[in-house]
């Protein structure tokens, strides 16, 4: 009997909790926590896509129940602040960046209240990237044990990082005889990624550890570490800033003295965002980027993120001749000869190529 009572009591508690939960739910439904919108943005639509030279019409209207008198409206776009009443036209070639842009609208009422609204739009470049041609100058040996993540030429040495957990290393070897001058193992919990040399320091990213390593470029002695919030993929520099990819369409420009992000660009071509940006090389004012999984290099404008050219390297190597090779990755620039070195993960060759306009 006692047991029965206990069960009944438990059922009652559960029933009570259930009813309480139900009533809470209906209360939330009845009293919407959403703030009432007094303004509608009629144009542009959310996530609407525009091209270069398009006009973006920004148009707002009051909702039916809004009787408040509008004193003025402001549109904030990038660094521009524009005053308008209910409609204003913007040109996409003024202060927009390729990719996602957020337009902010501030509505000031006569009763001193202010409302803020925002809308995201996307800008695509109109221009289709042209293809660059290439000529193979030389085919050189490449250690097929290297799972190439970063490749650079600095004076008479190549520096190359090899990835994977427990197997990552950094190698420095001569560019003429391919003799190893120095090689160091990377801690087994780190997956080595992109490398770049700025002044006498070699900076290395790691894939998912949010941790970068700084080495002395001569001795490869570890000097310091740094942190970042995204994955680490490719790395290069413009002599002032580190330039970093993270596997997305974004490229970050980082101050090497404090690792703060100075700027970020979104990489777009005429058909949309270009993701999986991998190994990087800064060549004559442009960012060259391997695209992960494709034998294709994007030549990117560092100011706008526009892909100006593609280099199609699908035919550089007859892959049927080789087993166990992975994706193309690795771009290094030879300033003296104005040539570019290309390789891939576990590739047996390093290709020296000269680029040409088609």
Which residues contact Ca ion by CB under 5 A? 151, 281, 331
State the nearest-atom distance from the C-beta of 152 to Ca ion, in Å: 5
Structure tokens at 50: 């525009």
Helix (H, G, I), strand (E, B) or coil at 27: helix
The residue with tokens 């695209």 is: 291
Contact 307, 274 (CB under 8 A): yes
- Residue closer to Ca ion by CB (options 107, 243) is 243
- Residue closer to Ca ion by CB (options 151, 316) is 151
CA-CA distance, 237 to 100, in Å (whole number)? 25
CA-CA distance, 288 to 114, in Å (whole number)? 46
- DSSP 8-state class, residue 166: T
- Residue closer to Ca ion by CB (options 115, 279) is 279
Contact 253, 266 (CB under 8 A): no
State the nearest-atom distance from the C-beta of 141 to Ca ion, in Å: 19
State the nearest-atom distance from the C-beta of 288 to Ca ion, in Å: 8
Structure tokens at 183: 């090689």
Positive/negative CA dihedral, 304, 309, 314, 317: negative
Contact 54, 98 (CB under 8 A): no
- Residue closer to Ca ion by CB (options 33, 285) is 285
State the nearest-atom distance from the C-beta of 150 to Ca ion, in Å: 6
State the nearest-atom distance from the C-beta of 228 to Ca ion, in Å: 18
- Residue closer to Ca ion by CB (options 115, 281) is 281
Which residue has the CB atom at the shortest distance from Ca ion?
Answer: 281
CA-CA distance, 66 to 64, in Å (whole number)? 6
State the nearest-atom distance from the C-beta of 340 to Ca ion, in Å: 10
- Residue closer to Ca ion by CB (options 124, 173) is 173
């Amino acid at each position: 009997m006692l047991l029965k009572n206990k069960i009944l009591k438990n059922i009652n508690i559960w029933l009570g909790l259930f009813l309480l939960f139900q009533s809470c739910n209906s209360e939330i439904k009845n009293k919407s926590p959403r703030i009432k919108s007094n303004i509608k943005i009629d144009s542009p639509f959310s996530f609407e896509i525009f091209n270069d030279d398009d006009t973006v019409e920004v148009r707002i209207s009051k909702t039916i129940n809004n009787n408040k008198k509008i004193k003025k409206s402001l549109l904030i776009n990038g660094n521009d602040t524009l005053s308008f009443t209910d409609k204003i036209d913007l040109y996409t070639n003024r202060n927009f960046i390729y990719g996602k842009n957020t337009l902010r609208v501030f509505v000031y009422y006569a009763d001193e209240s202010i409302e803020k609204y925002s809308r995201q739009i996307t800008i695509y470049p109109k221009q289709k990237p042209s293809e660059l041609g290439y000529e193979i100058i030389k085919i050189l040996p490449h250690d097929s044990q290297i799972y190439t993540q970063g490749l650079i030429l600095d004076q008479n040495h190549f520096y190359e990082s090899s990835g994977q957990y427990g197997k990552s290393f950094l190698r420095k070897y001569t560019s003429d005889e391919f003799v190893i001058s120095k090689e160091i193992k990377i801690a087994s919990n780190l997956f080595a990624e992109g490398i770049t040399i700025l002044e006498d320091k070699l900076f290395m990213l790691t894939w998912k550890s949010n941790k970068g390593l700084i080495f002395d470029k001569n001795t490869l002695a570890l000097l310091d570490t740094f942190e970042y919030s995204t994955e680490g993929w490719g790395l290069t520099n413009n002599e002032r800033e580190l330039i970093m990819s993270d596997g997305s369409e974004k490229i970050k420009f980082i101050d090497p003295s404090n690792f703060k992000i100075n700027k970020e660009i979104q990489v777009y071509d005429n058909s949309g965002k270009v993701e999986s940006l991998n190994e990087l090389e800064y060549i004559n004012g442009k960012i060259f980027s391997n695209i992960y999984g494709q034998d294709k290099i994007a030549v990117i404008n560092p100011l706008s993120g526009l892909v100006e050219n593609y280099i199609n390297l699908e035919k550089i190597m007859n892959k049927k001749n080789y087993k166990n090779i992975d994706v193309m990755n690795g771009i290094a620039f030879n300033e003296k000869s104005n040539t570019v070195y290309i390789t891939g993960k576990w590739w047996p060759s390093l290709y020296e190529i000269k680029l040409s306009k088609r």
